[in-house]
Amino acid sequence: MSVLDIAKGMGVTLGHLFKRPVTVRYPEQPVDVKPRFRGRHHLLRHPSGLEKCIGCSLCAAACPAYAIYVEAAENDPDDPVSPGERYASIYEINMLRCIFCGMCEEACPTGAIVLGHEFELADFVYQDFTYGKDDMLVGVMGSKWQRREATQKGRDVRVGLSSGPRPELEGVDY
């Protein structure tokens, strides 16, 4: 290895010293993710407000990680939860098992389950990784922990995300 080579290498380093850094000051500053990034799931609603999910369990069948559990029930025709006869009375995803592959999204016949952009899912207790309908229905922002912190401190939920939701998340009210 000649002195010249060393100088070349140092030159690269030197050149980068004066460039704009690519790292960001996360978590002080929010980050951007790519449009097709797959993060925490959202359960969507129809424009009428009815839930899109019909409790068919096809997402659970497609899930390679067995992360989804669905229990269905019959809609009260006078006060339906979803269009048609059937809705999901229990819809749970275990975020520890989930590998964020997006198979559930692909399997869903109604476009009810969609992987969003949120990625900060760390938490402390095993049970808290099981997300139910209340944690995933569209409009709910942040992970369980982020929402808990927000209530405790009496402030808005803060997510470290600057790119909005995925374009697929129609009607999402962020």
Partner 1 sequence: MKVKVNDTELELAPGTSAIDAVFAAGYDVPYFCSQEYMSPIGACRMCLAKVGAPRQDRATGEWILDEETGEPKIFYFPTLMATCTTAIMEGMVIDTLSDEVRGAQNGMVEFTLINHPLDCPVCDKGGACELQDRAYEYGSGLSRFRFDKRHQEKHHALSELITLDRERCIHCKRCVRYFEEVPGDEVLDFIERGGHTYIGTLGEGLPSNFTGNITDICPVGALLDATSRFRGRNWEYDHTRTTGLDDASGSAIIVDARTGRIERIKAALNAEVNKSWIDDGTRFGHEYVDAEDRIKTPLVRKEGELVPVTWEEATGYVKAKLEGIADKELGIVLRADATLEEGVAAKALADHLQTGQLDHCPRPKASVLPEGDAARFTDLATADAIFVIGDVSEEVPAVDLRIKDALKGVSPPASLPHGVPIADLRLKERMPRKAGLLTVAAPYRVDLMRHAGRSVCYPVGGETAFLSALVKLATVEDELSEEEVAALGMPVDEGRALIERLAQAQNAVIVYGSFVLASPAARNAVIALAKAVKAKVMVMGPMANSYGLEAIGVMPSHARYSYQQMIRGGAKALILSGLDPAQDPSVAEALKDLELLVVHHHFANATTALADVVLPAKTGYEKDGTVVNLEGRYLPVRSAPVDGGQSEDFTGLVRYLGEALGVRLDGRSTRSAKRALNHLLAVDLRDLPDEGLLAKAKSRPLRRVSVKEQEAVSGNVLLVPSMVRPEFVSRNPQLRAAFGDVALCLHPDDADQMKLVGGERVRLSVDGTLRKATVRVSETVPQGIMLLPATPEQPVGLVSADLATLVKESSELEVA
Q: Interface residues for partner 1 in 85-124 (CB under 8 A)?
A: 85-86, 109-110
Contact 87, 81 (CB under 8 A): yes
Strand partners, 72: 88
Interaction residues for ligand SF4, span 83-112 (CB under 6 A)? 88, 93, 98-104, 107-108, 110, 112
Contact flags string 53-72 toward ligand SF4, x per CB under 6 A: xxxxxxx--xxxx-xx-x--
Give the up-direction half-sphere exposure of residue 54: CA atoms within 13 A in the CB hemisphere: 11
- Does 55 bind partner 1 (CB under 8 A)? Our answer is yes
61 binds, among ligand SF4, partner 1, none (CB under 5 to 8 A by kind): partner 1
Q: Which stretches of the chain bind ligand SF4, using CB under 6 A?
A: 53-59, 62-65, 67-68, 70, 88, 93, 98-104, 107-108, 110, 112-113, 115
